[in-house]
Amino acid sequence: MSKSKHCRKTVFWVLVFLVGGTAGVIFSHLLLPWLAGFPVLSKIDRLSQLREGATIINRTERITITQETGFQEAVSRLANSVVAVRAERHFRLINQKEMPLLKPEVLARGAGFVLTSDGLIITANSLLPSRATRIIVTLAGKESEAEIIKQDELAGLALLRIEQINLPVVTLGEQSALKLGETVFLLAYDLATSTPVFLINYGYVKQVQPKPDFFLTQSVPIEGSLLANIKGEVFALSLSGQKNGQTAFAMVEEIRELLK
């Protein structure tokens, strides 16, 4: 190809790009706004925005779920299933006779959580002394008398039932899925208040074998508190006993065993 032909071809393509670019500008800034003036076409969002002189930018947003957000969502969801448990007695035996009390005597207070939507509640067995005559469960500010379904003194667990349905339940996690250093928290009712106020005890998994153990910011939580991760999966229930100054737990496998 001669040098003159090569120059003519280069000039040709430069003119094509210049004319095409100019036509595009004229089309987008003059013709499209003019077309947007027609009633039928003005209903098209892109055309109506051009007529108003708006600049359209296609934007992609990235939503990042932080650990704090996940923690707050887990607490909010699980709080709906947390209950307060109270054991009372309404009489005393005096000379082998039952003498009614003017005011019920509270023998134990603690927490628990809903396992099934038809009213099964898991709690610490130590909250159910044999001399109690009534077990009260408080859920979402509503009190219900509970029936003791099953007790496991070795595991330290007890199963209750209340006459309610369509209850919010927790999700039980898999014990083998716990990771060393994973963030966990305890959640329970504040037993000193008459309205639903929750207490949170924050920590992490400090041991996974042979049995999971946890470091918590408070060594003595309310008995029956649930322990969960930031996904909202429940792995344990706190008990009254302590070992080396640390809270004792009944793990999720023991909870599942009680349900059998």
| pLDDT tens-digit readout, 176-227 | 999 999 999 999 887 777 677 888 888 999 999 888 989 888 765 789 999 9
Same domain? 100 vs 192: yes
State the DSSP H helix or E strand holding residue 113, giving kind and residue range, or none if neither: strand 97-114
Is 212 part of any domain?
yes
Q: Which residues of the chain fall short of a pLDDT of 70?
A: 1-67, 93-98, 194, 219-220, 241-245
Is 215 part of any domain?
yes
CB atoms within 10 A of CB 254: 18
Q: Which amino acid is at 214?
A: F
Is 56 part of any domain?
no
Is 17 part of any domain?
yes
> What pLDDT sits at residue 58?
47
pTM of the full structure: 0.70
Is 213 part of any domain?
yes
Same domain? 189 vs 76: yes
3-state secondary structure of 156: coil
b/e code 131-153 from CB counts within 10 Å (16+ = b): ebeebbbbbeeeebebeeeeeee
Q: Which of 77, 95, 83, 64 is nearest to 140 (CA)?
A: 83
Number of domains in the chain: 2
Identify the domain containing residue 75 by its residue range: 63-260
CATH of residue 230's domain is 2.40.10.120
Same domain? 46 vs 67: no
